[in-house]
Structure 1
Amino acid sequence: MKFLITFLQICILYVFSFIGNAIHNLFHLGIPGSIIALILLFICLCLKIIPIKFIEHGAGFLLGLLSLFYIPATVGIMNYPSLLSLHGLLLVLVVLLSTVISIAIAGKSSQFLEKERTLKKG
């Protein structure tokens, strides 16, 4: 039963992805469809149109597999030895720095939102 629930929740996430890509293709926006989908999902979660429990297990399952999504990109770099030179090292440093900054901003945002949520509950 849990497998079916997780599968259906992943389907809900996929529908958001499909809608985001459709909006991107329809309006030729400069924002990727996946980002549009995330914004739509965020809005639906904030407005409680979709309760968190409707996607919680599916999102957790996909997060567990997240590292597998990076393997093809990492293996693909081997086709470009120039990326492994000095310019490649600088590129890696920029990517690492931007990742750390993104994680820090996401963490601070989460702390802020949790603090606001706690204050509202009293």
Structure 2
Amino acid sequence: MKLLKIIIQIALLYAFAWLGGQIQAWLHLAIPGSIIGLLLLFVLLLCRIIPVSWIEAGSTTILFYLPLFFVPATVGVINHLDLFAGKGLLLVAIVIASTIITIIAAGHASQWLAILTERRRGANESNDTVEGIVSDMHENGHVRVGGQVEQNERAARSDKKVPHAAPSPTNDTAQAKLYGKKGTQL
């Protein structure tokens, strides 16, 4: 069943490459048809017209075997050795420089994405934590102000004089979580 799913997804990817080739031939574009098909698939994925699950297993399989697709191109270079005559050192320098630039660019991009993801995750967690602590404190009817615990607004509105209660451990724990202090009494 899994193999059939992968085959169908690879066929879908191939259909987009074929469609891109047809668009390229019909419009006489200078862009290769496979790139047009890839851009078409990208737009459809971005607009959520096609869900990622429709191509995920097939594309993962193709990426796994991607190095094998480079073998024919690399072996094909042997047929064109005259192009490289006298320029071997220059080509080696170009390959090394472009590899270093690619590694640096990919590293910076992945660090930027990791920081962005961590900020989003941290912002969501801190908002959830603060909201949870505030709601816990309001449910208990106590809010810590200036080192003392005051009764909630209903008790304050009534003309009763309510003596200040001793701080409850629940509120101290909640406030310690709120301010990021563990095991401390505020």
Q: Same fold (TM over 0.5)?
A: yes
Aligned length: 121
Q: Is this contact kept in 2: 1:24–1:33, CA < 8 A?
A: yes
How do residues 1-122 of structure 1 correspond to structure 2 at under 5 angstroms? 1-102=1-102, 105=105, 108=109, 112=113, 115=116, 119=120, 122=124
Deviates more, 1:25-34 or 1:54-63: 25-34
- Distance (Å, rounded) in 2 between the aligned partners of 1:36 and 1:69: 20
The structural deviation recorded for 1:109 is 7.3
Query: CA distance change for structure 1 residues 23 and 111 in 2, over 3 Å: closer, same or farther?
Result: farther
Structure 1: runs of 5+ lacking an equivalent = none
SS in 2 for 1:30: coil
Task: Point out the more displaced range, 15-24 or 86-95.
Answer: 86-95
2: CA distance between counterparts of 1:98 and 1:77?
Answer: 19
Answer whether contact 1:20 1:37 (CA < 8 A) is retained. Answer: yes
- Per the normalisation by structure 2, the TM-score is 0.54
* Larger strand fraction of residues: 2
Spell out, residue by residue over 1:49-73, the C-alpha distance to the aligned partner (whole angstroms, 9 max, x if none).
1111110100011011111111111
More helix by share: 1
Larger radius of gyration: 2
Instruction: Output the CA distance in 1 between the equivalents of 2:67 and 2:13.
Output: 18
| Counterpart contact for 1:21–1:32, Cα < 8 Å | yes
CA distance in 2, matches of 1:103, 1:25: 36
Contact 1:82–1:88 (8 Å) recurs in 2:
no
TM-score of the two chains, using structure 1 as the length reference:
0.78
8 Å CA contact 1:20, 1:33 repeated in 2: yes
